[in-house]
Amino acid sequence: MRSQPLTLMEHINACQRSFPEATGSFSLLMESLALASKIISREVNKAGLGKLLGLAGRRNIQGEQVARLDDFANDTLVHSLTRGGTCCALASEELAVPIRLPGAEGAGRYAVVFDPLDGSSNIDVAVSVGTIFGVYRRRSPEGGLGDASDLLQSPGKLVAAGYALYGSSTVFVYSAGQGTHGFTLDSGLGEFLLSHPSIQIPERGGILSINWANRGRWDEKTRRAVQAYEDAEETGPCSARYVGSMVADAHRTLLCGGLFAYPGDTKNSSGKLRLLYEAGPMAFLFEQAGGVATDGSKRILDKTPDALHDRTPLVLGAAGDVAVFAEALAK
């Protein structure tokens, strides 16, 4: 008989069996995230048919225009994670303040940070977008409301991270610290099926993913680092790919290799991407796949946010690719 690929939940439950003290709470939390991803995927795929294209008519805490699908994705995740009873606190790129949740003893063990819809400027033109999340263990005392201490943790303390990419297919990639694994949504079954077990980022991809139009705002060192990567013999002939949805650019980098970078510039010295919702979870996934994530001088997983919406410069890729860029940056 032909063997069927594992479902996402079978995979998570199998991994949890190596922790005899596991209570099932983590599996339930991942189930909430997977369900929210399926609901968002369904809406993204038919956004042009309904009322979900376009702007919501307000700006978020970071002054960015909010799209209707940003709001839909945010509400879906908040609802799914709240209902599951596994979380004590939630922080979203789209919410100015965190959501603190009540929990009985033994419940609400986790705090979740998320970018509900990454790449929202691409929604209206049917280009790939995604959801990014990170999961922390709670730090506040069990039994009460979660608080900021549960959320303002270094990405080095993540117990799990992942993303759903709503592209030509919908893919769910996660790591709980035992490698990075990818699943593809079988829409007939409504299940994520294991399609990319134990992802290892290829060395020397030779693909550069950066917003080149920002070069006028980069400092001299960043310009030199980009040039060094383009010229490096070790990374081979260099090609450019930039979707403008970090989750899609990062997914390609994870599978095909190369370098994704969003450096600081004169508009924003820390770049555009958020440490908690975007850079941190992606750094966790890349390191679990044998890759590297740095802000140019410091490992992303060694950074700690001072505030929920802190930004960080980000360079993601295989060790060899990142080394070429970071060494030129340090000169």
The entry of Mn ion, ligand AHG, none near residue 244 (CB within 5 to 8 angstroms by kind) is ligand AHG
The entry of ligand AHG, Mn ion, none near residue 211 (CB within 5 to 8 angstroms by kind) is ligand AHG
At which residue do the structure tokens 């965190």 appear? 98
Nearest one of 37, 285, 12 to 172, comparing CA atoms: 37
In this complex, which beta carbon is closest to Mn ion, that of residue 93 or of residue 265?
A: 93
Give least dist CB 204 to ligand AHG, A. Answer: 23
Q: Which residue in 244, 299, 309, 320 binds ligand AHG (CB under 6 A)?
A: 244
Give least dist CB 77 to ligand AHG, A. Answer: 13
Surface-to-core class of residue 241, CB atoms within 10 Å of its CB (0-12 exposed, 13-18 middle, 19+ buried) = middle
- Using the contact rule CB under 5 A, the part of the chain among 8-16, 112-120, 280-288, 291-299 near Mn ion is 112-120
Give least dist CB 120 to ligand AHG, A. Answer: 4
Give the contact letters, 135-174, x = binds to ligand AHG (CB under 6 A), - = no. ----------------------------------------
Nearest one of 250, 240, 249, 244 to 289, comparing CA atoms: 250
In this complex, which beta carbon is closest to ligand AHG, that of residue 218 or of residue 262?
A: 262
Task: Give the type of residue at 157.
Answer: K
Helix, strand, or coil (residue 215): helix
Q: Binding to Mn ion by residue 249, rule CB under 5 A?
A: no
CA dihedral (34, 258, 197, 299) positive or negative: negative
The Cα–Cα gap between 238 and 224 comes to 15
Q: Binding to ligand AHG by residue 118, rule CB under 6 A?
A: yes
Q: Binding to ligand AHG by residue 64, rule CB under 6 A?
A: yes
Give the 3-state secondary structure of 43-75. Answer: HHHCHHHCCCCCEEEEECCCCCEEEHHHHHHHH
- Using the contact rule CB under 6 A, the part of the chain among 95-103, 112-120, 150-158, 293-301 near ligand AHG is 112-120
At 107, give phi and psi (nearest 5°): -105, 170
Give the DSSP H or E segment for 38: helix 25-45
The entry of ligand AHG, Mn ion, none near residue 245 (CB within 5 to 8 angstroms by kind) is ligand AHG
Surface-to-core class of residue 163, CB atoms within 10 Å of its CB (0-12 exposed, 13-18 middle, 19+ buried) = buried
Q: Which of residues 40-99 bind Mn ion (CB under 5 A)?
A: 93
- Using the contact rule CB under 6 A, the part of the chain among 10-18, 111-119, 172-180, 233-241 near ligand AHG is 111-119
Q: Which residue in 115, 150, 191, 249 binds Mn ion (CB under 5 A)?
A: 115
Q: Binding to ligand AHG by residue 211, rule CB under 6 A?
A: yes
Task: Give the type of residue at 68.
Answer: R
Q: Binding to ligand AHG by residue 245, rule CB under 6 A?
A: yes
The Cα–Cα gap between 64 and 57 comes to 11
Surface-to-core class of residue 316, CB atoms within 10 Å of its CB (0-12 exposed, 13-18 middle, 19+ buried) = buried
- Using the contact rule CB under 6 A, the part of the chain among 118-126, 138-146, 150-158, 169-177 near ligand AHG is 118-126
Which residues are paired to 310 by β-bridges?
none
- Binding residues (CB under 6 A) for ligand AHG: these are 64, 93, 115, 118-120, 211, 244-246, 262, 272
- Binding residues (CB under 5 A) for Mn ion: these are 93, 115, 117-118
